[in-house]
Structure 1
Amino acid sequence: MAKLPYSDVDFSLRAIAGRAEGFGRFAVGGLHGPLYHVTTLADDGPGSLREGCRRREPLWIVFEVSGTISLSSYLSVSSHKTIDGRGQRVRITGKGLRLKECENIIVCNLEFEGGRGHDVDGIQIKPNSRHIWIDRCSLSDYDDGLIDITRQSTDITVSRCRFANHDKTMLIGADPSHVGDRCIRVTIHHCFFDGTRQRQPRLRFGKVHLYNNYTRNWGIYAVCASVESQVFSQCNIYEAGQKKKTFEYYTEKASDKLHEASGLIRSEGDVFLNGAQAHLRQGVSEGCVFHPSEYYHDWTVEPPSESLKYILQVCAGWQSIPRPAEQLIPRPSEQ
């Protein structure tokens, strides 16, 4: 039977810190800060999620309430925060989270649904943000993207998330004029893209490692590589619905170049079901696309089996799990 990674991170509250695989592996969130308890579903004020996220000091944010937090504006998250939804069922709606010029963020076990308005994303990561881990979140039905990573934001992992009921799922790299996005590096693994239409993800300029994801019934394509981008697709399951094209390549011109270019996709160990067509570019050798081992040594990857497909349908996204206990660190005199 297939197994998801991080099987031990729910042993104690802060065991998740620094445990991401891939490019976001250095994200420790609010590891070194006190607990902040969300005690109200109000958009703002004492005990609200917004109040905790705006504070400048490191915080490990936990919830004492379940229910829906309806945001009237983007909720900005400052550096060194963990937003930990384990133990409750918290739904974010109206607007989404904005990770702007911040670092060391963990967002775990939340639901994002029904974001409305122009340029409203579930989780918007821009600009210049880094060391971020999005884990076990369910995201659906926003007016723009579910997760957007742009404007030189990098070193990010998205894992064990479920994406559904949406069009433009995940944009990585803003547009051809933002050549600074060449620094972007993202790992996406053990996620379930359930009937989302396109952008699982769409990438410009940067590098993305996809592994052990299950993408099914897309509406246009599964993965798109645009200007100068590199995608390493490893042991994923691509199951087509009516549309069979798995990989798409869009040609664009970077603002500092004379000629247009598309991106590159290297597929290793992927399976293509129900007539899914890979459309791999000819002549894409090992040297053309980065290999993850150039950046990190270990990641949990296994063959794309039927058991993996089943596990991802059940275990990706928000989970009904208890909040782990806080493990107290003994004082020196007590050791």
Structure 2
Amino acid sequence: MKNTREATYSANFGVSICLHQKRLRKHAERLAGSRRALCAWLLVAFLSPLGGSAHAAGQSQIAFPGAEGYGKMALGGRGGAIVPVTNLNDSGPGSLRECVEMPGPRNCVFRVSGVIHLIKTLAVKGNGRLSILGQTAPGGGVLVTIDRVNSAKQHTPLLVKRADDVIIRHIRVRPRFSNAVRNVDGLTVEDSRRVYVDHVSTSWATDENFNAYSNTSDLTVAYSVFGEGLNKHSKCALLGSDPRMPQNISFWSNACISNRDRNPDDNHYGKSCIEIVNNVFFNAASEWGEVFSQRPGGTPIAFVGNYFKAGPSTNDVTYAINWNDTNSAAAPQIYQTGNVTWSPKGKSVVLIAPDTEQHLVDKPPCPLAISKVTSAEEAYEEVSRRAGAFPRDGVDERLIEGLAPIGTKGRGKMVREPGELPEIAQGEPYVDADGDGMADGVESQFGAKPGANDAWEDSDEDGWTNFDEFMQWLSEERVAGRYPQ
């Protein structure tokens, strides 16, 4: 753990110097011609980590502009190498795996679109400080899948294991195994800290579409679509999977669609901070928000502004928030406010299960880490417009279309076999002649200079690096259906 902290501090030191380079020059220039100039330069440079910490309390050290929740301090690959992904191969030069397995801070920037057919799990394993930036891919973006059994049983397409400071954005993950191949997740985050999953789409897992396993903490899962886990073990998300310590997890603005249960499943130690905020849960069969309390202290959790909508596969009577007393070690602390249920004729989603009411508390067990909380109805519209990897592929288009407008009957079903992979449109990547990961044609919007590799400078002195600003702008452009030429 000490080595991890030291590496993080060293990385912050380097990033801080990059961010404050111009300011340091100005301080020295004002004092030029005297011994005080050198003293001032050295003092400010030496204290740059403190300066970086000050920014952490503001903007520039969170994962990206607009990041929220307990994972928002994920550094990702900030300050590191810009690594172009130039082919769809499982491994080798120019592959996504090559970027993921490189040492040191790095940022995977796609120069290609299409489907990556993996031979085995793509693992971010003990090697954090990584950003996978799917919004950079041209055309229809990037989808990763596995459909061949391997002897190592590495069938979950994407795994983050014992790797801190990881950011994953705008990636589609769709394994294609039958139910005979067990324990296949879409995306697993295991024993890792400061991880941000944003605009990710998964489907057809034989276990969970998303799994936060072991001592994973300081995690945000946001604006993602988790759909059609394979029956009978059809699960949206397992957030409390065999932890041995308190955890901090934010599950925010996601869509769980046509998963039988675990929408999501929570089972945590006391003194954890678990928040389920502004999500849309549609067409669960038997269980929605499941709260177990099998760990010392019991699960502390807040459900705020979520929309639970029954669908064709939903049992006649279900409970949106339900405590499961199996092997309970202590009473949970369940806070809920602003949650909404909706059911078509003949079905009923009851907000609180009768035996769960005794465990409701009158304030969140932890102050909410999500600051942008809306009503459940507003969340429904927001998630419908913006959740998932963009541009949406045919699977997400179908799932979101089936969700249907608020207050109307939706479409969906439980599935037992994976569907066909959607077509991913090809496209030309934006021009990046200077190799800084940014589109040359729009760099000036952020103060950057085409022809200069200035990704980690803060050219407009707004507290964000040029690269950070560009990547968030590009994410918004992709959601809006645009891509730079």
**Bucket of the pairwise TM-score, normalised by the shorter protein:** 0.7 to 0.9
Counterpart for residue 159 of structure 2:
98
Counterpart for residue 325 of structure 2:
251
Counterpart-to-counterpart distance in 2, 1:131 and 1:19? 16
Counterpart for residue 131 of structure 1:
194
2:331 pairs with 1:282: no
- In structure 1, list runs of 5 or more residues that go unmatched: 1-13, 254-258
- In structure 2, list runs of 5 or more residues that go unmatched: 1-60, 147-155, 393-428, 431-437, 449-453, 462-485
**Mapped contact 1:250–1:262 kept (Cα < 8 A):** no
**Mapped contact 1:185–1:208 kept (Cα < 8 A):** yes
Q: Which has the larger radius of gyration?
A: 2
Q: 1:200-219 alignment to 2 at 5 Å?
A: 200-205=263-268, 206-219=272-285
The total of aligned residue pairs comes to: 308
Query: Could you say which structure has the greater relative contact order, defined with CA pairs below 8 angstroms and 6 or more residues apart?
Result: 1
Counterpart for residue 227 of structure 2:
164
**Mapped contact 1:252–1:261 kept (Cα < 8 A):** no
**Mapped contact 1:18–1:27 kept (Cα < 8 A):** no
Counterpart for residue 251 of structure 2:
188
% of aligned pairs identical?
A: 24
**TM-score normalised to structure 2 length:** 0.59
1:44 aligned counterpart, secondary structure: coil
**TM-score normalised to structure 1 length:** 0.83
Distance 1:212 1:288, change over 3 A: closer
2:386 pairs with 1:315: yes
Counterpart for residue 371 of structure 2:
299
Counterpart-to-counterpart distance in 2, 1:36 and 1:267? 44
Distance 1:262 1:197, change over 3 A: farther
2:241 aligned counterpart, secondary structure: coil
Which structure has the highest helix share of the two? 2
Instruction: Show CA shifts across 1:238-289 (max 9, x none).
Output: 1123333212222244xxxxx6446443211111111321225233353685
1:197 positional shift: 1.7
1:61 positional shift: 0.7
2:240 pairs with 1:173: yes
Counterpart-to-counterpart distance in 2, 1:195 and 1:120? 17
Counterpart-to-counterpart distance in 1, 2:458 and 2:96? 34
Distance 1:247 1:101, change over 3 A: same
1:292 aligned counterpart, secondary structure: coil
Counterpart-to-counterpart distance in 2, 1:248 and 1:39? 47
Distance 1:334 1:30, change over 3 A: closer
Instruction: Show CA shifts across 1:211-245 (max 9, x none).
Output: 11111111111111112222200011111233332
Alignment partner of 1:146 out of 203, 209, 215: 209
Distance 1:267 1:53, change over 3 A: same
1:195 positional shift: 1.9
Counterpart-to-counterpart distance in 1, 2:285 and 2:456? 54
